[in-house]
Amino acid sequence: MQNNNAMTRRTFVGTAAALSSLAVLPAANAATTASTAQNSVPQTIPALREWTPAAGSFNLGPVSQIVVRCSQAATLAGIARTFAADLTAMGQRNHVEISDRPARAGDIILEVGASDPAIGTEGYLLAVGDFVAITARTAAGAFYGTRTILQLLNQSPSISAGTARDWPRYAERGLMVDIARMNFTYDWLATRIRDMAYLKLNLLHLHFTDNEGWRIESRLGVQSSPCLTRQQVCDLVALAAKYQVTVVPEIDMPSHMAALLKLYPQFQLVDSNGTAAPDKLDYSIPAARDLLREVIAEYIPLFPGPYWHMGTDEFLAASEYANYPQLITYAQQTQGPSATGKDGLIGLVNEMNTFVRRQGKTLRIWNDLLSPDDTVSIDKDVVLEWWTDLYTPYPQPINPDQPQALLTQGYSLLNSSFFPTYDYPAGPPVLPSVQWMYEKWTVATFHGFAYTDDQGDGFPFYTVNDSAPGNRGSVINLWNSGGTWTEAQAADSIFPRLRVLAQKTWDSALSVPTYAEFSTIVNAVGSAPA
């Protein structure tokens, strides 16, 4: 190992000092520095945004310590312990030390207090010499610094010296899992959380309910078997928080509700011919809306994160409201005499938005409810997850608002577009290409349900202003409609997609131009320990 004695002897006083000591090297190391500069950036997913190589290396050994300064123990001790547990799962012995002693070779120092505004709340500064210094502005940033070191140590116990500045472009980076149509066990979901964190992904959206199942224990007795118990949900949320992942719960309403309406058939939507829709709730009935609030109120305390998702997708096409005069009457009574049938559903969204806001949550919905011909607007503080450019029932002409129009109106938007973020076992029309996703897609481009391949099938691609603050990021959407698979098959399918998404949503420069080359990095980085 190339040993920088000046670094070893001094007391660690912050990342600025560490960066300085790595930037100025003894003259005797000039040849080594020139050689090191030829090396490529360390292999990580996502790629480091900035990396400056230096002479020497860090080696994790039997006396290595994860060190947190005494004044920052309350902020960083938990992150240090999580990091230590992950290293232990990799077979690396280590220990967390709360100490103000000088740094020693083999130490990994965690610190908050970085003054660099460019790295934001999730970025970090990294200095690698004979010890490692991770400095961030927040605990989340320090955590993501440990993920970088974890990925590098998963490849080798020795890390080449250098300095890095690293931060994400998009605030939301993650995974949506449909656990309603297919039950996923607690252990499977816990493994996904660890793997997401390994890739610096931070959002787990759980689609708990649909026509085929209600996969969360309910005081109403509506749950399917099997399902997650309330205790398992609490444990999962706690694990996610430990790994800097926010859990977003979704109870889909007022459509996709067959699992609930089996117990409450009196609230099924009935058309003018007396035919009931087993999956749609008649929200014109006051007691039906009370039931929705009761369901939300039961589950909100289980999720301390800032969001609540109510779905709202695929209820009725605008032309279908004529078959349900009660919905038109309800819309005109609540939204004004000129309201359309769909305006009543928009009013329901706003009503539920007010309800969850009072409980400290931000509402999220799917995008297909919003269209240019709406006469009532959804509240601007509702987050929209844009997945489709068609309107139910399919096929219909392009109808929902385009992404840029929604951003211009003041909405926040998540790119959940069908192509290429969807993953599913089978179904229409073809699985989106992960190669195309890596080589051509950006988070600023939206490709809806109309697309069946990377040519667009004659439909336009929607590209938004990449600097728009409302463009929140993207997730992989793991659905279970159109076929079946096992937990292992689902995990295998999303494995490469999550890695591409991590790169795209972090939005650092691609390490390599092709997906084939990226696959080599995927294999080298591997997956989260244990």
- pLDDT single digits (tens) 32-91: 333 333 357 899 999 999 999 999 999 998 889 999 999 999 999 999 999 999 999 998
344 or 394, which is more confident: 344
Chain-centre distance for alpha carbon 33: 39
Compute the distance between CA of residue 476 and CA of residue 170 in angstroms, rounded to an integer.
14
Report long-range pairs for 234-241 (Cβ below 8 Å, ≥24 apart): 234/302, 235/186, 236/186, 236/189, 236/190, 236/193, 237/302, 237/303, 237/304, 237/305, 239/190, 239/193, 240/193, 240/204, 241/304
Compute the distance between CA of residue 138 and CA of residue 324 in angstroms, rounded to an integer.
52
Average pLDDT over residues 127-138: 97
What pLDDT is stored for residue 320 in this prediction?
93
Compute the distance between CA of residue 492 and CA of residue 324 in angstroms, rounded to an integer.
44
Compute the distance between CA of residue 448 and CA of residue 401 in angstroms, rounded to an integer.
12
Q: Tokens 């997609």 appear where?
A: 497
Compute the distance between CA of residue 516 and CA of residue 119 in angstroms, rounded to an integer.
30
Q: Tokens 């096992």 appear where?
A: 486
Alpha helices for 440-478 (secondary structure H): none
Compute the distance between CA of residue 132 and CA of residue 149 in angstroms, rounded to an integer.
9
**Residue 201 CB contacts under 8 Å (≥ 6 apart), including other chains:** 173, 174, 175, 245, 498, 501, 502, 505
Q: Is residue 463 within 8 Å of residue 445, measured between CB atoms? A: yes
Whole-number average pLDDT of the chain: 89
- pLDDT single digits (tens) 255-304: 999 999 999 999 999 999 999 999 999 999 999 999 999 999 999 999 99
Band (484; pLDDT cuts 50, 70, 90): confident
Q: What percent of the chain has pLDDT over 90?
A: 79
Beta strand 412-415 with 471-478 is: parallel
What pLDDT is stored for residue 450 in this prediction?
76
What pLDDT is stored for residue 32 in this prediction?
35
Selection from 128-142, 361-375, 435-449, 481-495 with the highest mean pLDDT: 128-142
Band (394; pLDDT cuts 50, 70, 90): low
- pLDDT single digits (tens) 163-216: 999 999 999 999 999 999 999 999 999 999 999 999 999 999 999 999 999 999
Compute the distance between CA of residue 42 and CA of residue 155 in angstroms, rounded to an integer.
10
Lowest mean pLDDT among 24-28, 413-417, 518-522: 24-28
What pLDDT is stored for residue 136 in this prediction?
98
Residue 90 structure tokens: 């990799």
Chain-centre distance for alpha carbon 335: 35
Report long-range pairs for 212-216 (Cβ below 8 Å, ≥24 apart): 212/180, 212/181, 212/258, 212/259, 213/180, 213/181, 213/182, 213/183, 213/259, 214/180, 214/259, 214/260, 215/179, 215/180, 215/183, 216/249, 216/299
Band (30; pLDDT cuts 50, 70, 90): very low
- 203 beta partners: 174, 246
Residue 331 structure tokens: 């819309």
CA dist 443 → 11, 138, 398 (Å): 43, 25, 21
Tell me which of 3.40.50.1980, 3.10.580.10, 1.20.120.420, 3.20.20.80 is the CATH number of domain 172-525: 3.20.20.80
CA dist 374 → 335, 339, 387 (Å): 12, 9, 19
- pLDDT single digits (tens) 420-470: 999 998 765 577 889 999 999 999 999 888 776 666 566 777 899 888 889
Q: Is residue 110 within 8 Å of residue 68, measured between CB atoms? A: yes
**pLDDT beyond 50 at 332:** yes
* Closest by CA position to 293, among listed 352, 253, 210: 352
Q: Is residue 70 within 8 Å of residue 99, measured between CB atoms? A: yes
Residue 57, Cβ neighbours under 10 Å: how many?
Answer: 19
* Closest by CA position to 449, among listed 504, 398, 501: 398
Q: Provide Rg for the chain, Cα atoms.
A: 25
Compute the distance between CA of residue 301 and CA of residue 309 in angstroms, rounded to an integer.
14
**pLDDT beyond 70 at 387:** yes
Compute the distance between CA of residue 328 and CA of residue 326 in angstroms, rounded to an integer.
5
**pLDDT beyond 60 at 93:** yes
- pLDDT single digits (tens) 148-166: 999 999 999 999 999 999 9
Average pLDDT over residues 502-526: 97
> What residue segments make up the domains of the chain, in order of their start?
5-166, 172-525
Chain-centre distance for alpha carbon 469: 17
Beta strand 50-59 with 158-166 is: antiparallel
- The angle subtended at Cα 368 by Cα 407 and Cα 480, nearest 5°, is 120
Band (371; pLDDT cuts 50, 70, 90): confident
Residue 337, Cβ neighbours under 10 Å: how many?
Answer: 7
Q: Is residue 246 within 8 Å of residue 259, measured between CB atoms? A: no
Compute the distance between CA of residue 526 and CA of residue 521 in angstroms, rounded to an integer.
8
- pLDDT single digits (tens) 65-74: 999 999 999 9
What pLDDT is stored for residue 3 in this prediction?
33
**pLDDT beyond 70 at 28:** no
Domain 5-166 CATH assignment equals 3.30.379.10:
yes
